[in-house]
Amino acid sequence: MRVRLAPTGSWTDGRAEVSLGPTLALLDALAAERSVQGAAVRLGLSYRAVWGRIAALEAALGRAVAEKTKGHGTVLTPFGDGLREALGDSLGAFRDALAAEERTLARRLAGLLGPASAPLRLAASHDPLLAELAAARPDLDLVTTGSLDALALVGDGRAAAAGFHFGAHAAAPGSAFAAAFADPGLAVRPLFSREQGLMLAPGNPLGIAALADLPRARARLVQRQRGSGTRLWFERLWTEAGLDPGALASTGMEEFTHQAVAALIASGAADAGMGTRAVADRFGLAFLSLGTETYFLAVRREAEGAWSTELAEAARRAAATAVGYAPPSPGQGSPSTAEARGRVSRADEG
């Protein structure tokens, strides 16, 4: 059973009333998607409905909260961003208290309703497409972690399934990934193929055209957390290219999601970071393709059921139309070092 509580409230100056929760959701969606269409999909609304909410909010406040930018969709104005931060800080202050109340209410409801099947825990390396699919399934509890940690959680029984990737045609002998494929207690299947590469500042102002250009340009790199499949892939490509790890101008920051990496680049706090084409496209970033990889689902045999087949089929359908994704096919894997030289494109142009 899942219980979700959220703070609410309103602001009024005697002329108009602004609902705080829906306003924060709107501003968060615009900040994350950087387009009205993307915000509409995220909120489950129509394009026209989102524009209507923006217009109503701006009329109530007497200030613009969003603006169109050439080639970069729709972004928050400085006022809109400040409003989002203020609302987020205030409403976020209730997060811990609400989480405790959610657990309490879930227990009480469970006692009233009787026994029910607990959701299966899916520990998975971050992927936006998988996150959307899992969110639509109340029988799944998605926990975002690195690929290695996800497999470890499945191995010790703390998760029913793991989503993982490793950016190679085949798992290295002796690795945790190879062990997953060899484990008779796990059913492993591909979910989709996705393109990864370097996400770069809009317009690629540093002229990054290959991995070797990162140290030359003194590009500030933001990394994914250690143990993530993306971090392992980047480090392998760096080594295969014969580049010195000490030459990287790292920001010292490690993030757990592709969106967090992209947000730092979009804000100017970093110049480059590895991530998916899909996320680069959402943030309007330039993109240097490093290749494609297969994202896998490993399920403990005793936890197998219709849910895993349904999830795999839904992933295949979604990947067929999503930017930077494709349904899985035999022979898919990671790029070679030669492919890692890559090609820079504007993510919003292809």
299 and 340, same structural domain?
Answer: no
149 and 65, same structural domain?
Answer: no
185 and 314, same structural domain?
Answer: yes
61 and 37, same structural domain?
Answer: yes
List pLDDT tens digits, range 60-71: 888 999 998 876
* C-beta neighbour count of 255 within 10 angstroms: 21
135 and 78, same structural domain?
Answer: no
Q: For residue 31, give its domain range.
A: 10-95
Residue 109 domain-assigned (yes or no): no
Task: Please state the domain count of the chain.
Answer: 3
- Please say whether the beta carbons of 195 and 276 come within 8 A: yes
Residue 342 backbone class (left: φ over 0; alpha: ψ -120 to 50; beta: rest) = left
Tokens of 69: 């930018």
177 and 200, same structural domain?
Answer: no
Residue 113 domain-assigned (yes or no): no
List pLDDT tens digits, range 85-124: 999 888 888 877 888 888 788 778 877 876 556 799 999 9
DSSP-assigned letters across all residues of 55-123: HHHHHHHTS--EEEETTTEEEE-HHHHHHHHHHHHHHHTTHHHHHHHHHHHHHHHHHHH---PPPEEEE
Examine the pLDDT at 344 and tell me if it is beyond 60: no
Residue where a domain stops, chosen among 95, 126, 149: 95
20 and 84, same structural domain?
Answer: yes
Q: Is the dihedral of CA 41, 27, 279, 132 positive or negative?
A: negative
Examine the pLDDT at 196 and tell me if it is beyond 90: yes
Residues 6 or more apart in contact with residue 25 via CB below 8 angstroms: 43
175 and 134, same structural domain?
Answer: yes
The domain that holds 147 is classified in CATH as 3.40.190.10
State the pLDDT confidence band at 342, using cuts at 50, 70 and 90. Answer: very low
135 and 47, same structural domain?
Answer: no
Residue 104 domain-assigned (yes or no): no
Percentage of the chain with pLDDT > 90?
A: 58
Residue 172 domain-assigned (yes or no): yes
List pLDDT tens digits, range 15-31: 778 888 899 999 999 99
138 and 176, same structural domain?
Answer: yes
The domain that holds 56 is classified in CATH as 1.10.10.10
Residue 45 domain-assigned (yes or no): yes
Residue 217 domain-assigned (yes or no): yes
Residue 327 domain-assigned (yes or no): no
Residue 4 domain-assigned (yes or no): no
Q: Nearest-5° angle of CA 263, CA 264, CA 270?
A: 145
163 and 240, same structural domain?
Answer: no
255 and 230, same structural domain?
Answer: yes
Residues 6 or more apart in contact with residue 347 via CB below 8 angstroms: 199, 277, 280, 281, 283, 284, 285, 286, 287
**β partners of residue 195:** 292
